[in-house]
Amino acid sequence: MAVARTITDFLQRQRAHYAVVPHPHTETSRATAHTVRVAADQLAKAVVLIDERGYVMAVVPSSRHVSTNRLSELLGRRLELATESRIAPVFRDCDPGAIPPLGPAYGMDTIVDDSLVGQPVIYFEAGDHEQVIQVDGEVFLSLLKEARHGQFTH
């Protein structure tokens, strides 16, 4: 599979400079960081949550875990992890488990963990398990300029 079309379209609309980095197939974000030889703090991952109001994408470093309770408190919502089968129709151009952390590209409310702020370079899944996208850290944050920010990981 190639880079998700939704992502290439979004990056082009935003006039973002990026590079596609191919790598051997991996199944987890930590394995991807190891294979690509980048710090796990620099590989952003998407965690999709849901409540009665809809989906929320949490964008976090692959080295960290979302505190669902803290995030729910921060957003004033009662969120729980969304299942792969439930979100598959939203991310139909992505392989399961390879969701790019660009919620706005998919019309999804997004919140970014503060631990990603200040990273010089960010990598993220391209929509499959064999490519990541590399962008300048400031470019990544500008792609998520509409997103909320907070501390909700451990």
- pLDDT tens for 49-82 read 999 999 999 999 999 999 999 999 999 999 999 9
Is the model's pLDDT at 1 over the cut of 70?
Answer: no
* CA dist., res. 11 & res. 141, Å (int): 13
What CATH number has the domain bearing residue 61?
3.90.960.10
**Domains of the chain: total:** 1
Tell me which residue range forms the domain holding 57: 5-150
- Give the confidence band of 153 by pLDDT, cuts at 50, 70, 90: very high
What is the average per-residue pLDDT within 101-127?
A: 96
Q: Residues of 110-147 as b/e, b for ≥16 C-beta within 10 angstroms? A: bbbbeebeebeebbbbbbbbbbbbbbebebbbebbeeb
pTM: 0.95
